[in-house]
């Protein structure tokens, strides 16, 4: 009996060592690819003249689709900022998803809206309209379309937007994000520039706006927040976007475009059936599905990622909200991977099936579980008195140093390119954040991911986590 | 006689500096706003004799500025709009909303002075 | 000292594996500390650089405006001497050039001429021309861009050599230079172009062409027949923007081009010009073309319908595509009221009923 148990523990040890080793090597490879790609993107784009594209009426049409649910507090201001993007040929479709507050009334009053007759081509089935479709009587707001519909959730609202839009491209965003005024030009660029394959979607970096000063829909002052919980998230985002997604974009293996800010070829998005209303991970799911269809049709395609800081959003400032957000992300990932499991390790789906999906499964989906099993294993060992402490401590030390170095690489990439946190003294705070993050943020995220797994399997009725908004800080208004 | 007041809404700093130099030399008092909202504040507080504005501006576009001046403030102040080429549609909307004149970018400062002189004496 | 001694002792007495792990740790720790110092000095130097940049650009902005509005030649000469001295330094030269560019794009008239003259007086073009020989594409781009902005026409031949350069950004800069400085004459690079011409570049070129006073466009027939489909697509845009009605025959040929996008753009172009002769060609093979082309064609009929096409319309009111159905029904209603009224109002087709109800409301 004892012998068998020891054998099992040995096998466990072997698996953990191999897993850790492969994680470390994949991070190193992705990190190197990303850094190179980000710096090269930055260099290439310092020469671009966007002026002609933004003012040309021959530029392709774009619709911004922004679903709004009970956003009465900020909706008028946010729409105003969406209307002032530097691009000629675009419209803004605000989908009021059955809000129970006075969002619609406020929009009607602020933008002089009137109801119009509209023959809706319901290419994607959705919840019915409630008050209908509105446009402004004032030519200054000619770009604005407001749709009022019965509540159906974010995906359903986005689908209504897809049905209404007649543009070539759609930019799906969260209404409470701050989009910088050159966001559309930059996001549409890969669609227009790539000539050897079909670009189906582009996504951008999400930056954290807490503590920043925003005025008139314009970023006036970028500050490094005081709260450690936000600081660690900034670090986490920089690592994920500048070191992770950039590499996957280079390898054409990107599986996620943040729901907060992404652009799609409308026809393709509609043809694959729009957003899935049954998942909480709709932003990842639609990309995987679009890729799947392209693979099945054997069309050469690309998904691009833009490192420019174009979209700023508010990050949770309390652990409770952070945990519920990550819980939701975890369930979204599980649902998407499960729905598309057929493609995993299926050579018919090329790189998508053989590399991206398995990687995502092993290193994103399974990572928290493996970590937890590892912890339990360690505790069992302690209990049995089988821990070689000198090994354990050296391993721990090594892992910590590696994490810290990887974070430092992300910070270096950021400093050498966009260098958004210019103020004096922030450098030291960043290093401090790097050193503390493994102890402060990581356990919370691990916990949230485990909770997500638990809720997914044992608590099916789990509702959407509610994000309590504190509102982007504005200097006036 | 006091100097005629002009409000300019323009986000390129060198161009703003150049026009300020030029117009002040021609005997006008020029106030510069970096964006549409600042321009409205300046218009409300200074009651200018003329407004110059770019169509593409951060936050509050030139079109909204015109609409605000004509409909909310009910002012008849002449407005000259600057626009980059290829924005014919925007220029038409600007006239619909009550713009007085328009100039295509790149701008000739001398021509601008002539047009201003014609509009306010 | 005792601790270090103890540590040394401990490591020396540990198994080899642990020794290796510890040495890894020390290496990583060393790298980390090194990077932390590097990071802080990088931030410091970036901040300093930015401050210096700002200082110089403010200095040159003021000098430039003084130069432009100065009434005395001696003062102007003084400014030129000052700038000339500074232009020997790489950083300062870049700052001067950037200041000139920032103003140059926004103004026209005699001030623009004065800026060009200043660029010339400072001999800045020699620096830009020297970049053309660089192996680094970014340096090349920078050089060509400057030569373009400051109208240096003398290097035309040298730049044309790079029209099929392997780097697409260099190619783009070459095209912009040629078209901006030589207007429609510059377009003849299309004869030589073998590389792709992206949609992005096409729009840029069109925007530049639109700004010229002279709008006498050269003959585009050869480009419509080009073996490079990107050249054909661009030529179609030219036909559309410049209303080249006499290209009807070429358009009909392009309706059977092998590339779907070319065929689609051809229909859109024909729509814009209302070239009625393509209608019969498309109707004859309507079932064989892609849905996108079909919709584009129905959009054409929307503005150029002739009663003789009633049969075609009538057969497509039950088409599976919503847009085609809607346009067909709309045309039927406005041109053949009797036929429209006699339609069966109890169809199984939900979309059909929806459109009918909408139009009857």
Q: Which of residues 67-86 of B touch C (CB under 8 A)?
A: 85-86
Chain C closest CA to B77's CA: distance in Å?
Answer: 25
Q: Give the closest of C40, C204, C230 to A52, CB-based.
A: C204
ipTM for this model: 0.88
Contacts of C237 in chain A (CB under 8 A): 58
Instruction: List pLDDT tens digits, range A319-328.
Output: 999 999 999 9
Residue-averaged pLDDT of chain C:
91
**Any domain includes B107:** no
CA closest to C323 among chain A residues? A121
Which residue segment(s) compose the domain that A43 sits in?
A: 1-47+177-477
- Our count of domains for chain B comes to 1
| B112 in any annotated domain | no
> Which of A55, A83, A139 is facing B93, going by the closest CB pair?
A139
- Mean per-residue pLDDT for C333-345? 87
What residues of C are in contact with residue B15 (Cβ under 8 Å)?
Answer: 103, 106-107
Average pLDDT score over residue span C318-337: 91
How confident is residue C69, by pLDDT bands cut at 50, 70 and 90? confident
Chains contacting B (3 or more CB pairs within 8 Å): A, C
From residue A68, how far is each of A465, B65, C97 by CA, in Å? 16, 27, 47
**Mean pLDDT throughout C266-281?**
93
Radius of gyration for the alpha carbons in chain B, expressed in angstroms and rounded: 13
Do residues C143 and C94 lie in contact, with contact meaning Cβ atoms separated by under 8 Å? no
CA separation, residue A168 to residues A264, A283, A465 (Å): 9, 20, 33
Domain that holds residue B68: 4-102
- With bands split at pLDDT 50, 70 and 90, how would you rate the model's confidence at B106? confident
Q: What are A65-106's pLDDT values in tens digits?
A: 999 999 998 899 889 889 888 888 999 999 999 999 999 999
CB contact under 8 A, B35 and A86: no
Domain count, chain A: 1
Q: Across the interface, do A57 and B86 touch by the CB < 8 Å criterion?
A: yes
**Contact present, C310 and C335 (Cβ < 8 Å):** yes
Contacting B residues, span 44-63, partner chain C, CB-CB under 8 Å? none
- Would you say residue B35 lies in a domain? yes
Q: Is residue B110 part of a domain?
A: no
Q: What is the Cβ-side half-sphere exposure of residue B70, based on CA atoms within 13 angstroms? A: 17
Confidence at residue B1, expressed as pLDDT on a 0 to 100 scale? 56
- Does the residue B119 lie in any domain? no
In angstroms, rounded to a whole number, what is the distance separating the alpha carbons of residues C270 and C279? Answer: 9
Is there a contact between B18 and C107 if contact means CB atoms under 8 Å apart? yes
User: In which band, very low, low, confident or very high, does the pLDDT at B58 lie, cut at 50, 70 and 90?
Assistant: low
Task: Residue window 86-115, chain B: list those with CB within 8 Å of chain C.
Answer: 86, 105-111
Report yes or no on A72 lying in a domain.
no
What does the pLDDT read at residue A158? 97
Give the residue-averaged pLDDT of A42-48.
81
B-chain residues near A89 (CB < 8 A): none
Beta carbons of B96 and A181 less than 8 Å apart: no
The pLDDT tens digits of the residues spanning B19-29 come to 998 899 889 99
The residue of chain C with its CA nearest to that of B54 is: C106
8 Å CB contact of A81 and B59: yes
B90 within domain boundaries? yes
Q: Is residue A286, in this structure, part of any structural domain at all? A: yes
- Which of C48, C140, C200 to probe by mutation at the A interface, max A CB count within 10 Å? C200
Exposure letters C44-56 (e unless 16+ CB within 10 A, then b): eeeeeeeeeeeeb
Residue contact B57–A55, C-beta within 8 A? no
Model confidence pLDDT, tens digit, residues A350-398:
999 999 999 999 999 999 999 999 899 889 888 888 778 888 888 888 8
> How far does chain C reach from its first CA to its final CA, in angstroms?
95
What pLDDT band is residue A461 in, cutting at 50, 70 and 90?
low
Query: Tell me, what CATH number does B93's domain have?
Result: 3.40.50.2300
pLDDT in tens, A4-31: 877 887 888 888 889 988 999 999 999 9
- Whether B15 is covered by a domain: the verdict is yes
pLDDT of residue B86: 58
Q: In Å, how far is B11's CA from the nearest CA of chain C?
A: 11
- Contact assessment for residue C202 and residue C238, using Cβ atoms and an 8 Å cutoff: no
Chain B residue with the nearest C-alpha to that of A181 = B58
Residue A455 lies in a domain: yes
Neighbours of C284 (CB within 10 A): 9
Other C-beta atoms closer than 10 Å to the C-beta of A307 total: 23
Instruction: Read off the pLDDT band of B91 (50, 70, 90).
Output: confident
Neighboring chain B residues of C210 at a CB cutoff of 8 Å? 85-86
Is B67 close to A138, i.e. CB distance below 8 A?
yes
Tell me: pLDDT of A276 over 80: yes
Tell whether the model's pLDDT for residue A186 goes beyond 90. yes
DSSP string, chain B: -PPEEEEEE---HHHHHHHHHHHHHTTEEEEEESSHHHHHHHHHHH--SEEEEESS-SSS-HHHHHHIIIIIS-----EEEEE-TT-HHHHHHHHHHT--EEEESSB-HHHHHHHHHHH--
The vertex-A338 CA angle with A336 and A344, nearest 5°, equals 100
Split at pLDDT 50, 70, 90, the class of A465 is: very low
Q: Residue A95 is encoded by which pair of tokens? A: 């989908």
CA distance B104 to chain C (A): 10
Q: Taking residues A102-130, report their average pLDDT.
A: 94
B35, B59 Cβ separation under 8 angstroms: yes
Per CB-CB distance under 8 Å, the chain B contacts of C64 are 14
Residue whose tokens read 């933004």: A54
Burial tier of B121 (Cβ tally within 10 Å: 0-12, 13-18, 19+): exposed
Q: Is the pLDDT of residue A55 over 80?
A: no
Task: Please indicate, yes or no, if residue B14 is contained in any of the structural domains.
Answer: yes
Query: What is the nearest CA distance from B87 to chain A, expressed in angstroms?
Result: 6
Which residue in C has a C-alpha nearest to residue B85's C-alpha?
C211
Domain assignment present for A467:
yes
Q: Tell whether omega for the bond before A264 is within 30 degrees of 0, i.e. cis.
A: no
Q: What number of C-beta contacts closer than 8 Å exist between B and C? A: 49
CB-based contact, C109 to chain B, within 8 Å = yes
């Amino acid at each position: 009996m004892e012998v068998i148990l020891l054998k099992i523990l040995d096998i466990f040890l072997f698996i953990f060592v191999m897993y850790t080793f492969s994680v470390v090597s994949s991070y190193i490879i992705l990190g190197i690819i990303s850094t190179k790609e980000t710096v090269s993107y930055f260099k290439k784009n310092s020469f671009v003249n966007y002026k002609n594209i933004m003012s040309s009426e021959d530029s392709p049409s774009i619709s911004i689709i922004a679903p709004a649910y009970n956003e009465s507090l900020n909706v008028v201001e946010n729409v105003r900022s969406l209307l002032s993007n530097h691009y000629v040929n675009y419209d803004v479709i605000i989908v009021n998803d059955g809000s129970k507050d006075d969002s619609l009334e406020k929009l009607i009053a602020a933008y002089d809206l009137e109801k119009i007759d509209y023959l809706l081509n319901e290419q994607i089935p959705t919840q019915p309209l409630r008050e209908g479709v509105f446009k402004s009587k004032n030519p200054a707001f000619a770009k604005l379309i407001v749709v009022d519909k019965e509540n159906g959730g974010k995906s359903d609202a986005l689908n209504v937007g897809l049905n209404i839009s007649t543009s070539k491209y759609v930019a799906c965003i969260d209404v409470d994000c701050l989009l910088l005024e050159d966001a559309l030009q930059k996001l549409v660029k890969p669609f227009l520039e790539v000539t050897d394959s079909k670009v189906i979607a582009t996504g951008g970096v999400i930056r954290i706006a807490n503590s920043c000063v925003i005025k008139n829909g314009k970023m006036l002052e970028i500050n490094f927040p005081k709260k450690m919980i936000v600081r660690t998230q900034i670090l986490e985002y920089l690592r994920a976007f500048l070191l992770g997604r950039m590499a996957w974009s280079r390898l054409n293996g990107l599986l996620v475009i943040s729901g907060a800010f992404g652009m799609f070829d409308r026809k393709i998005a509609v043809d694959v059936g729009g957003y899935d209303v049954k998942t909480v991970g709709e932003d990842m799911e639609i990309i995987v599905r679009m890729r799947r269809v392209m693979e099945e049709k054997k069309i050469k395609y690309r998904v691009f990622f833009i490192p420019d800081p174009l979209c700023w959003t508010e990050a949770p400032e309390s652990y409770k909200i952070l945990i519920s957000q990550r819980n939701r992300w975890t369930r979204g990932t599980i649902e998407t991977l499960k729905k598309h499991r057929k493609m995993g390790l299926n050579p018919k789906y090329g790189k998508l099936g053989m590399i991206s999906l398995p990687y995502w499964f092993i290193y994103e989906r399974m990572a928290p579980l493996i970590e937890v099993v590892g912890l339990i294993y360690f505790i069992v060992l302690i209990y049995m008195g089988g821990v070689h402490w000198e090994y354990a401590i050296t391993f721990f030390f090594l892992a910590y140093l590696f994490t810290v170095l990887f974070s430092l690489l992300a910070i270096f990439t950021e400093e050498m390119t966009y260098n958004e946190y210019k103020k004096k003294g922030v450098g030291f705070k960043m290093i401090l954040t790097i050193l503390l993050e493994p102890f402060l943020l990581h356990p919370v995220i691990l916990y949230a991911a485990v909770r997500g797994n638990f809720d997914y399997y044992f608590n099916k009725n789990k509702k959407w986590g509610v994000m309590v908004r504190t509102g982007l800080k504005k200097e006036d208004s | 006689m006091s100097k005629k007041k002009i409000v300019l809404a323009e986000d390129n700093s060198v161009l703003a500096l150049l026009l300020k130099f030029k117009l002040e030399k021609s005997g006008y008092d020029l106030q510069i706003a970096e964006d549409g909202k600042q321009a409205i504040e300046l218009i409300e507080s200074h009651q200018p004799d003329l407004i110059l504005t770019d169509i593409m501006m951060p936050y509050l576009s030139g079109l909204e500025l015109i609409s605000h001046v004509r409909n909310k403030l009910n002012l008849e102040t002449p407005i000259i709009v600057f626009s980059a080429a290829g924005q014919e549609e925007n220029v038409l909307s600007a006239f619909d909303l009550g713009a007085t004149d328009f100039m295509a970018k790149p701008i000739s400062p001398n021509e601008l002075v002539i047009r201003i002189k014609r509009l306010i004496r | 000292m005792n601790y270090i001694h103890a540590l040394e002792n401990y490591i020396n007495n540990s198994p080899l594996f642990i020794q290796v792990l510890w040495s890894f740790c020390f290496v990583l720790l060393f790298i980390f500390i090194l990077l932390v110092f590097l990071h802080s000095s990088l931030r410091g130097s970036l901040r300093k650089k930015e401050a210096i940049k700002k200082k110089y650009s403010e200095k040159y902005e003021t000098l430039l405006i003084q130069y432009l509005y100065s009434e005395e030649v001696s003062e102007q000469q003084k400014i030129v001497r000052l700038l000339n001295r500074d232009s020997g330094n790489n950083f300062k030269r870049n700052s001067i050039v950037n200041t000139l560019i920032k103003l140059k794009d926004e103004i026209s008239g005699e001030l623009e001429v004065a800026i060009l003259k200043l660029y010339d007086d400072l001999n800045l073009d020699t620096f830009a021309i020297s970049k053309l020989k660089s192996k680094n594409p970014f340096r090349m781009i920078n050089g060509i861009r400057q030569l373009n902005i400051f109208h240096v026409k003398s290097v035309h031949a040298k730049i044309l050599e790079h029209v099929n350069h392997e780097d697409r950004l260099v190619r783009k800069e070459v095209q912009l230079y040629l078209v901006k400085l030589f207007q429609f004459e510059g377009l003849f690079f299309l004869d030589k172009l073998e590389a792709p011409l992206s949609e992005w570049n096409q729009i840029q070129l069109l925007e530049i062409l639109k700004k010229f006073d002279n709008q006498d466009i050269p003959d585009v027939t050869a480009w419509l027949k080009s073996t490079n489909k990107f050249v054909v697509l661009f030529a179609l845009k030219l036909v559309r923007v410049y209303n080249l009605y006499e290209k009807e025959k070429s358009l009909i040929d392009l309706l059977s081009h092998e590339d779907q996008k070319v065929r689609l753009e051809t229909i859109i172009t024909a729509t814009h010009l209302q070239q009625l002769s393509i209608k019969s060609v498309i109707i004859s093979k309507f079932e064989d073309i892609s849905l996108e082309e079909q919709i584009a064609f129905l959009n054409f009929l929307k503005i150029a319908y002739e009663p003789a096409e009633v049969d075609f319309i009538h057969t497509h009111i039950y088409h599976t595509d919503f847009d085609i159905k809607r346009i067909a029904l709309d045309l039927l209603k406005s041109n053949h009221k009797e036929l429209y009224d006699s339609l069966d109002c109890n169809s199984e087709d939900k979309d059909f009923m929806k459109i009918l109800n909408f139009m009857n409301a």
